[in-house]
Amino acid sequence: MATVTSPSWIRLRSGRSSDAVLAVAVALALLAFHAVRGFPTIADNGGDNDSLLRLVQVRDLLAGQGWFDPTQYRMGPEGGFAMHWSRLVDLPIALLVAVFGEAAALVIWPSLLFALALFFIVRSARVLGGEWAVLPALVIGGLALYFVNVFPPGALDHHNVQLVLALAALLFLMRAKEFAAGGALAGASAALMLAIGMEAAPYAATACAIATIGFLVGEEGDARAARGFGLAFAGVSAAVLIVTLPAGQWLAAQCDAFSLPQASLAVLGGGGLALLAAVPALRSSWRTRLLGLGVLGVLAAVLAVSAFPQCLADPYAGLDPMLRRYWLSAVSEAQSVVSVARANPVMFAGYYVTPLIALATLCWALACGGARREHAVAAGFLGAAVLVSFWQVRGAMFSIPLAALVLASWVGGLRRRVERDGTPRAQLAMLAGWLVSMNLVWQLAASPFAAAEEGDATGQAASRCYALADYEALAALPAGTVLAISNQGSAILRQTHHRVLNGPYHRNNAGNLAALEMLMGDPAAAEAAARAQGIDYVALCRGNPETVSLGKWAPDGLLAALAGGTPPVWLEPLAGTQGQAVEIYRLRAP
């Protein structure tokens, strides 16, 4: 039998530094691709509201707004509202803007995060599948990161940071027994991703569960990893609370942002795990460890139920029913797997098939006894991400990259088999493995089942009213308050000096409700409300899906009247904007 050897270019470059070089090279190649195309996602980001508003928050910080003041003063009713985002993401972006300028920061930040994410994918794939998985990890992982669309130039949304931290936590947990600092780095990554946003709670919880289970059933190395994880998780959580909140708010509970409830549970859970793992008498046997963990779990449950019961309820419990019906239910990233499968089979195929294949390969390996501890860790993370994506499709931005590193390991094994025997059957299996590991292939396969006309129209409409040029006429007007659909709110703040009443953020309950009542209400009655809210302009985007939906739900409302070309008498069309992407109306003098 022939001796199996790795390709020389992989064998000679098998360390962390070489993986970093490869990841950076792919990131630079992708950056060159964007540059050749003229960085289109900066000129028109296709409706990434969070990235637009993140830039506004960074601008406000650099303009002198306080570190502890997250208020967005230009959105909502007079006085604005406090955003639930973390300053931890604002800081590095602000530093890049201060050093290199805003235009460069819009390119550097997502490119840096892309390189980090790909590096962690390559390292994790190498752990699972050896050197043969490196090339598949670069290709499949790079395509997966491109596919989830959270790393293009201009992407400042915090989800890309959370994804990088989740991939880091996975890698460090897989190597925690062999790598002395692995447990601590995993704990720090889990704490940071949770501190940045509560949507990462399932992945932080998964990391905690993996460290805990390892301590319960593992060996001395697992106890050492659990000790490092717990200390870092507790310590970083406490530090974040102190650094991101003023002293007067350390004891205030905010369920949708990192504050006392999350920090106290993290300190209790992480500190308790570290204590159990550090004291020999508390880990002398699996029964002792189980008893200690049980007591710790009861204490955490009592703390959550007694001190923070409001945080155990629906996170949108305080949202007005009208907003829940006409806004939240229409948010595309909040749809379930059933809704996606019924409405958009192409999206379903692209978002769900590769994670399910990856999960199946892990389950098969675990069932057949050919898996190692690292496979169980990967299965835990991927399983959690798939469950989240079943609940809300936004979870796919985690499940797809996590699946990529698993599939890269699988394809690496198929490549190794081809090198070993080289039979046509092995070559065909390898080719099939490459193809089924790519999301684009599944989207193309599902495309005949989609209504092409509807898909094209929806995609075209969704891309309108986010281009920089669309707001030039509005930006030229004297400063005022604008009434528009929520999908335009962030774009207006980013591109103009105006205020907006509406925006796709649940904390702006009062402003969003007032705007929705005006846009869906009787055109004549909306005048009094508009003047009471200090509205100066109304901005109409006919092609945006939100405009279309609200018009269907309220065919006699103000928005439908404007879209139909019959504005009420109290609104004056602004010359030169009719027929443009953004049409502007000015309130006439009373």
Q: What's the pLDDT score for residue 180?
A: 86
Q: What's the pLDDT score for residue 147?
A: 96
Q: Could you tell me where the beta strands, DSSP code E, fall in 48-173? A: 71-72, 81-82
Give the 3-state secondary structure of 232-275.
HHHHHHHHHHHHHCCHHHCCCCCCCCCCHHHHHHHHHHHHHHHH
Q: What's the pLDDT score for residue 45?
A: 85
DSSP H helical ranges for 16-86: 16-36, 40-43, 49-62
Distance in angstroms (rounded) separating the CA atoms of residues 82 and 76 = 10
Give the 3-state secondary structure of 547-584.
HHHHHHHCCCCHHHHHHCCCCCCCEEECCCCCCCCCEE
Q: Which of 465, 485, 351 is nearest to 48 (CA)?
A: 465
- Tokens for 287? 């029964």
Taking the chain (590 residues) in runs of 10, the rounded mean pLDDT of each run is: 43 68 97 96 90 98 97 96 96 98 98 98 95 96 97 96 98 92 97 97 98 94 96 98 97 95 98 96 94 97 95 82 87 88 92 96 86 91 97 96 97 92 90 94 86 45 73 96 96 97 94 96 95 96 93 96 95 93 94
- The residue whose two tokens read 């803007």 is 97
Q: What's the pLDDT score for residue 421?
A: 86
Give the CA distances from residue 226 to residues 163, 212, 285, 292, in Å, rounded to whole numbers and listed in that order: 22, 7, 15, 14
Sheet holding 571-573: strands in order across?
Answer: 499-500, 481-483, 537-540, 583-587, 571-573
> Cβ distance 371 to 410 under 8 Å?
no
- DSSP code, position 335: -
Distance in angstroms (rounded) separating the CA atoms of residues 302 and 148 = 39
Question: Which helix H or strand E contains 500, and what residues bound it?
Answer: strand 499-500
CA geometry: angle 289, 291, 296, nearest 5 deg:
95
Give exposure, 88-109, as e/b (b: 16+ Cβ within 10 Å).
bbbebbbebbeeeeeeebbbbb
Q: Is the four-CA dihedral 151, 154, 157, 161 of positive or negative sign?
A: positive
Q: Is 44 helix (H, G, I), strand (E, B) or coil?
A: strand
- Please, which residues bridge with residue 538 across strands? 483, 585
Give the 3-state secondary structure of 21-33.
HHHHHHHHHHHHH
Q: What's the pLDDT score for residue 332?
A: 79
Q: Which of 47, 16, 163, 18 is nearest to 489 (CA)?
A: 47
Strand pairing category for 499-500 and 481-483: parallel
Length reported for the chain: 590
Amino acid at site 114: F
Strand pairing category for 537-540 and 583-587: antiparallel
Q: Is residue 479 exposed (0-12), middle (13-18) or buried (19+ Cβ within 10 Å)? A: exposed
Q: What's the pLDDT score for residue 451?
A: 57
Q: What's the pLDDT score for residue 2?
A: 41
Q: Is residue 223 exposed (0-12), middle (13-18) or buried (19+ Cβ within 10 Å)? A: buried
Q: Is the four-CA dihedral 313, 318, 320, 326 of positive or negative sign?
A: negative
Amino acid at site 264: S
Q: Is the four-CA dihedral 17, 19, 21, 23 of positive or negative sign?
A: negative
Q: What's the pLDDT score for residue 30?
A: 97
Is the pTM higher than 0.75? yes
- Please, which residues bridge with residue 540 across strands? 583
